[in-house]
Amino acid sequence: MFPGRKQSIADRVFWVSFHARVRLSWRKFLGFQTDYITLPFELQYPLNSQLPDPSNQTDPTKEKWRGAFVAKAVTDVGMRRSSNQDSYCITLADDREKWERSGHLLIVADGMGAHAAGELASRLSVDLIPHHYTKLNRGDPVRAILQALEEANAEIYRRGQANPEFRSMGTTTSALLILPAGAVVAHVGDSRVYRLRGQTLEQLTFDHSLVWEMRASGEVSEEALRNNAVPKNVITRSLGPNANVQVDLEGPFPVQKGDRFLLCSDGLSGQLSDEEIGVLLESLDIDMAVRAMVDLANLRGGPDNVTVIIGEVKGDDIVTQHGSSPTPPSPSQSAYPILFGVISAVCLLASVILLISYQFPFAAISLAAAVIAAVSGWVKMYSATESPADRSSKLGRGPHRKAQCKPTSAFIEQLKNLIKEMQEWVAETGVQIDQKPLEASMAAGKQAAASRDYKQAIHHYCTVLVTLMRHARAKVDVKDEDSIDY
């Protein structure tokens, strides 16, 4: 303020307030409104206080919205594979407007092929489908997800044809959309989508496997299936091996608060029964459930990669409202085909010229061609606009299987036996583990089982099981599973 003098805080406050009073006096003199003045930003808060960081300000509405649907995912290489050919993707809408337009999207893919082909195929699936879905969704998410899988299939097929090492590579893909109209599934292969409501587990997808196809056609008896007369690992449909693919659509299934959806590769469903999956899904929080399922599959041999996604409906905001239906496409979605319009216009012009030239027969033929081209264009436009959601209010025939999942003492005994085997292994290998928390959980589990609180007993025993498996992985220097919270 003055030459050669350092400005103090008091000086700054004095001169800022002085200039403010001068500006206020001039505003009164000129007749302006003088109910308030705005001080500089740095004087609105104490100089020694921490100013609010806009990036740290949370929107309560968005926070509530994000808590309405939560998801957890775990993928693991298994016990016998050297690489993980499973992939997954979770794309959650971060506000209501985006959700009403596109919903929440969860995808699991299980790759197949030699070398790195299966890994590439599954990765392409979970990368390409969200991209194409977002690009193609113009008010009809059901049609968009169908086209997204078809586009992904075309790209995986193209990559396979371009490289001999990747030829015939493929991947199963199960995609779940949580929309205002309900849950919609797009599905190819034998990865699965389940819904748990209460103690009822429903399989929403149909396995595209030789076993399921032969059972559905009645070509094989249930006894033959139980005796493994038909190989279980043969799938009949996948993305990538062929230029075209048939995608199954299922739903929409109404969504209620408390519903849990599970997507998994066959590394889980091949080792755990539907009843066991449902019991773990109903008894545990989703963070513990994904880990316990993967660990249990590995303790039973882990012959394949294992991937599990669990999504839980925790808020009323995404509950399906009565009378909701998939959003029909707007008339502007499909334009009139240009080619048919040009043909119709040319034929119409030709008919006029021929009419002027008194070539009445040819003029009539040309006029008829114009009409046919115009009508064909309208038919093509409306057939392109029509989506599976328009043709039927209900897609597919799911649920395809149901299981009642009540916790039992028999399942608890299985968990205890596995824990005993793991404890023996720990003692033999000399793994250092703090035993006190484990002993406390075992005692709590035993007490809960004695009082027939089987759900709580399962929680305690699974806590022990997951802890022991975590230390086992560290001991054998196996990379821990990738895990992401959403």
Residue 234 covered by a domain: yes
pLDDT for position 56: 55
Q: Which residues of 273-296 are buried (b: 16+ CB within 10 A; e: fewer)?
A: ebbbbbbbbbbbebebbbbbbbbb
- Token readout for 430 is 């000399």
370 and 314 co-located in one domain: no
Higher pLDDT: 415 or 330? It is 415
73 and 39 co-located in one domain: no
Q: How far apart are alpha carbons 471 and 412 in whole angstroms? A: 22
145 and 30 co-located in one domain: no
Q: Are strands 260-264 and 248-253 parallel, antiparallel or unpaired?
A: unpaired
339 and 444 co-located in one domain: no
32 and 163 co-located in one domain: no
27 and 74 co-located in one domain: no
Residue 391 covered by a domain: no
Q: What is the pLDDT of residues 84-122, one digit of tens each?
A: 999 999 999 989 999 999 999 999 999 998 767 999 999
pLDDT for position 57: 58
69 and 160 co-located in one domain: yes
Q: What is the pLDDT of residues 278-330, one digit of tens each?
A: 999 999 999 999 999 999 999 999 999 999 999 999 999 999 986 555 544 34
Count of domains observed in the chain: 4
Of 278, 301, 326, the position where a domain reaches its end is 326
- Token readout for 420 is 């005993």
pLDDT for position 243: 94
| Parent domain of 378 | 333-386
Mean pLDDT for 366-374 is: 80
Of 20, 39, 57, the position where a domain reaches its end is 57
pLDDT for position 29: 45
Residue 485 covered by a domain: no
pLDDT for position 357: 80
pLDDT for position 34: 41
Residue 463 covered by a domain: yes
117 and 223 co-located in one domain: yes
Higher pLDDT: 128 or 229? It is 128
Whichever domain contains 232, its CATH number is 3.60.40.10
284 and 319 co-located in one domain: yes
281 and 316 co-located in one domain: yes
CB neighbour list of residue 337: distance below 8 Å, 6 or more residues apart:
377, 380, 381
Of 280, 309, 326, the position where a domain reaches its end is 326
Residue 361 covered by a domain: yes
Q: What is the pLDDT of residues 12-45, one digit of tens each?
A: 444 445 554 544 454 444 444 444 333 333 333 3
* Cα 312 to the center of its chain, rounded Å: 12
Residue 225 covered by a domain: yes
Higher pLDDT: 476 or 314? It is 314
Out of 166-175, 206-215, 259-268, 359-368, pick the least confident: 359-368
7 and 70 co-located in one domain: no
Residue 396 covered by a domain: no
Average pLDDT, the chain: 82
Residue 376 covered by a domain: yes
34 and 165 co-located in one domain: no
